[in-house]
């Protein structure tokens, strides 16, 4: 069979690229090695983790907050197996939705490991090797590589998937652990740590840096640490993990703490959350003389083109943030480029979100980045403790911080920690896309009482130090 475009990998980068290619009239195939479509995000990433974050948040609220609302639930109980089963059901329905989308858009889904056999632009040959049975060969004019990423580790730490686990195994544990050490206080460490801590697991996070969620605004990291301490997570910052050993029942993690002392942490499980690495195994890149860079990524130019004409790459397997919505934007853009259009992805306006409670979200420049660039800025913040809506829902932890250009008042960065800020950040993205000033937002009506009023107030604080409700 011959295609105009063949996409390898069905994650949010790959399946969205395939849909956009099909919409633009290209005969499109999508190769996926697993039975279910959707990649890391739908199967072992965004969706299952959010399903468990929602379940555990309900449990936590029932345990800690319902009484204050005047609600008694008797003796609270936990069916961990049902919680995991519900998560699996959410994943199944969501991945099934991608099959529907492929049919709707007349995209041929080829199941098996996709690898290059040879060829050149206009006529590449790809092999598709299913788990059982013979490989078939497809011919395609162009190829989009969207093979994503896998968990990475550090020297001295081998992920055995039994006691020393990655997020993939942690999302499907059969029994709630009593104790868990998490290596890495990044996004996965904070989200997965929250899931287990809310259910009563004693969670200890070991983080190499002197702060959590590196890359996000420092003010949010401090607030987040304070909130996560309240749910019982123990943090060791400035702590360098050097090795983990495991028996069939427990793990011992060895590290050097910030005083330079050797320390040891024992736990039922050790969750390794130190980042992810691009995944190119099995692609047989050498058949088309394509190489990876020093970090294992596929090198691309500003138009997602690799060094080989006709082969493009997007998502976690290339440079940039490893985020589903970044992969999606690239999927749309690469399809449009192949169709001869001139799309643009503004990486400065790709928001980052951590789905803890309070949630954390940011877009644009952090205060640290503005300082480093020597940019003159002004800042304004509004604490959720001052928001009537937040008091009504008992979600008063957190703040919204706005950074605006000192002279023009243009929004340069918006950083939020608080209730539902994963959704609130969209307003900041729209505002910054249209190059709004802080005053523009401060003069727009925001429904009362809503969490979104906190963004308006923070903008008023930044634009002219004139927040109204504080």
Which of the residues are catalytic? 448
Does 32 bind ligand FAD (CB under 6 A)? Our answer is yes
How far is the C-alpha of 327 from the C-alpha of 166, rounded, in Å?
Answer: 22
Complex with ligand NAD: residue 290 or 416, whichever CB lies closer: 416
Does 5 bind ligand FAD (CB under 6 A)? Our answer is no
CB of 54 to ligand FAD, least distance (A): 12
On whether the CB atoms of residues 419 and 425 are closer than 8 A, the answer is no
Complex with ligand FAD: residue 223 or 316, whichever CB lies closer: 316
Q: What residue 14 binds from ligand NAD, ligand FAD, none (CB within 5 to 8 A, per partner kind)? A: ligand FAD
On whether the CB atoms of residues 451 and 419 are closer than 8 A, the answer is yes
In the block, residue with structure tokens 């299952």: 48
How far is the C-alpha of 209 from the C-alpha of 184, rounded, in Å?
Answer: 9
Beta bridge partners of 110: 31
CB atoms within 10 A of CB 297: 18
How far is the C-alpha of 330 from the C-alpha of 344, rounded, in Å?
Answer: 9
Does 273 bind ligand NAD (CB under 6 A)? Our answer is yes
The residue range among 12-20, 133-141, 184-192, 363-371 that interacts with ligand NAD, by the rule CB under 6 A, is 184-192
3-state secondary structure of 414: strand
Site string for ligand NAD, 126-155 (x = CB under 6 A): ----------------------------x-
Structure tokens at 170: 């942690």
Structure tokens at 69: 């609302």
CB of 151 to ligand NAD, least distance (A): 7
Q: What residue 351 binds from ligand FAD, ligand NAD, none (CB within 5 to 8 A, per partner kind)? A: none
Site string for ligand FAD, 141-180 (x = CB under 6 A): -----xxxx-----------------x-------------
Tell me the angle at which helices 453-464 and 421-433 cross, rounded to the nearest 10 degrees: 50
- Dihedral-angle region of residue 107 (phi above 0 means left; psi in -120 to 50 means alpha; beta otherwise): beta
Q: What residue 325 binds from ligand NAD, ligand FAD, none (CB within 5 to 8 A, per partner kind)? A: ligand FAD
In the block, residue with structure tokens 């896309």: 433
How far is the C-alpha of 469 from the C-alpha of 438, rounded, in Å?
Answer: 17
Complex with ligand NAD: residue 128 or 212, whichever CB lies closer: 212
Complex with ligand FAD: residue 98 or 404, whichever CB lies closer: 98
How far is the C-alpha of 320 from the C-alpha of 190, rounded, in Å?
Answer: 21
CB atoms within 10 A of CB 192: 25
The residue range among 40-48, 251-259, 374-382, 429-437 that interacts with ligand FAD, by the rule CB under 6 A, is 40-48
Query: Within 100-119, which residues bind ligand FAD (CB under 6 A)?
Result: 113-115
Please count the residues of the chain: 470
Does 80 bind ligand FAD (CB under 6 A)? Our answer is no
Beta strands 276-278 and 123-129 are: unpaired
Does 188 bind ligand NAD (CB under 6 A)? Our answer is yes
On whether the CB atoms of residues 265 and 245 are closer than 8 A, the answer is no
Complex with ligand FAD: residue 16 or 219, whichever CB lies closer: 16
The secondary structure of residue 437, as a DSSP letter, is B
Q: What residue 251 binds from ligand NAD, ligand FAD, none (CB within 5 to 8 A, per partner kind)? A: none
Does 53 bind ligand NAD (CB under 6 A)? Our answer is no
CB atoms within 10 A of CB 51: 21
Does 420 bind ligand NAD (CB under 6 A)? Our answer is no
Does 200 bind ligand NAD (CB under 6 A)? Our answer is no
Does 413 bind ligand FAD (CB under 6 A)? Our answer is no
Identified binder of ligand NAD from the candidate list 232, 238, 275, 296, rule CB under 6 A: 275
Write the DSSP assignment of 292-310 as a string of letters: B-TTSPBP--TTSB-SSTT
Q: What residue 183 binds from ligand FAD, ligand NAD, none (CB within 5 to 8 A, per partner kind)? A: ligand NAD
Does 283 bind ligand FAD (CB under 6 A)? Our answer is yes
How far is the C-alpha of 183 from the C-alpha of 210, rounded, in Å?
Answer: 14
Complex with ligand FAD: residue 41 or 441, whichever CB lies closer: 41
Q: What residue 225 binds from ligand FAD, ligand NAD, none (CB within 5 to 8 A, per partner kind)? A: none
Does 214 bind ligand NAD (CB under 6 A)? Our answer is yes
On whether the CB atoms of residues 458 and 467 are closer than 8 A, the answer is yes
Tell me the angle at which helices 187-199 and 46-64 cross, rounded to the nearest 10 degrees: 40
Q: Among candidates 298, 216, 424, which has minimal Cα distance to 13?
A: 298
Does 317 bind ligand NAD (CB under 6 A)? Our answer is no
How far is the C-alpha of 48 from the C-alpha of 38, rounded, in Å?
Answer: 12
In the bound state, the residue with its beta carbon closest to ligand NAD is 186
Q: What residue 197 binds from ligand FAD, ligand NAD, none (CB within 5 to 8 A, per partner kind)? A: none
Does 322 bind ligand NAD (CB under 6 A)? Our answer is yes
Binding interface with ligand FAD (CB under 6 A): 8-14, 31-34, 39-41, 45-46, 49, 113-115, 146-149, 167, 188, 279, 282-283, 315-316, 322-325, 327, 355
């Amino acid at each position: 069979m011959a295609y105009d475009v063949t996409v390898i990998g069905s994650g949010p980068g790959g399946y969205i690229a395939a849909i956009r290619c099909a919409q633009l009239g290209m005969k499109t195939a999508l190769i996926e090695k697993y039975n279910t479509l959707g990649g890391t995000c739908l199967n072992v990433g965004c969706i299952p983790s959010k399903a468990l974050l929602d379940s555990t948040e309900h449990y936590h609220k029932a345990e800690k907050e319902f009484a204050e609302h005047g609600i008694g639930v008797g003796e609270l109980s936990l069916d961990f197996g049902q919680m995991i089963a519900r998560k699996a059901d959410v994943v199944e329905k969501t991945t099934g939705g991608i099959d529907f989308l492929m049919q709707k858009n007349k995209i041929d889904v080829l199941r098996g490991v996709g690898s290059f056999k040879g060829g050149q632009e206009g006529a590449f040959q790809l092999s598709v090797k299913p788990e059982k049975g013979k490989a078939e060969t497809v011919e395609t004019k162009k190829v989009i590589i969207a093979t994503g990423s896998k968990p990475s580790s550090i020297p001295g730490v081998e992920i055995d998937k039994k006691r020393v686990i990655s997020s993939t195994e942690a999302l499907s544990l059969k029994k709630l652990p009593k104790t868990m050490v998490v290596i890495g206080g990044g996004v996965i460490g904070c989200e997965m740590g929250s899931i287990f801590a809310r259910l009563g697991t004693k969670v200890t996070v070991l983080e190499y840096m002197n702060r959590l969620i590196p890359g996000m605004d420092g003010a949010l990291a401090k607030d987040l640490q304070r909130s996560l301490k309240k749910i019982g997570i123990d943090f060791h910052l400035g702590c360098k993990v050097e090795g983990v050993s495991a028996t069939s029942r427990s793990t011992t993690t060895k590290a050097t703490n910030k005083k330079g002392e050797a320390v040891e942490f024992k736990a039922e499980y050790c969750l390794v959350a130190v980042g992810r690495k691009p995944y190119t195994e099995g692609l047989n890149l050498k058949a088309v003389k394509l190489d990876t860079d020093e970090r294992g990524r596929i090198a691309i130019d500003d138009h997602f083109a690799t060094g080989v004409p006709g082969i493009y790459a997007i998502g976690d397997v290339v440079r940039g943030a490893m985020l589903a919505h970044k992969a999606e934007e690239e999927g749309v853009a690469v399809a449009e480029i192949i169709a001869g259009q001139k799309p643009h992805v503004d990486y400065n306006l790709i928001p980052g979100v951590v789905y803890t409670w309070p949630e954390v979200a940011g877009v644009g420049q952090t205060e640290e980045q503005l300082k480093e660039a020597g940019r003159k800025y002004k800042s304004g913040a509004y604490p959720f403790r001052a928001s009537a809506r937040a008091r009504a829902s008992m979600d008063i932890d957190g703040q919204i911080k706005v950074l605006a250009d000192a002279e023009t008042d243009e929004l340069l960065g918006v950083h939020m920690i608080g209730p539902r800020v994963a959704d609130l950040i969209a307003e900041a993205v729209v505002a910054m896309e249209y190059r709004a000033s802080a005053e523009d937002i401060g003069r727009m009506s925001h429904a009362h009482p809503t969490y979104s009023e906190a963004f308006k107030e923070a903008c008023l604080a930044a634009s002219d130090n004139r927040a109204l409700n504080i």
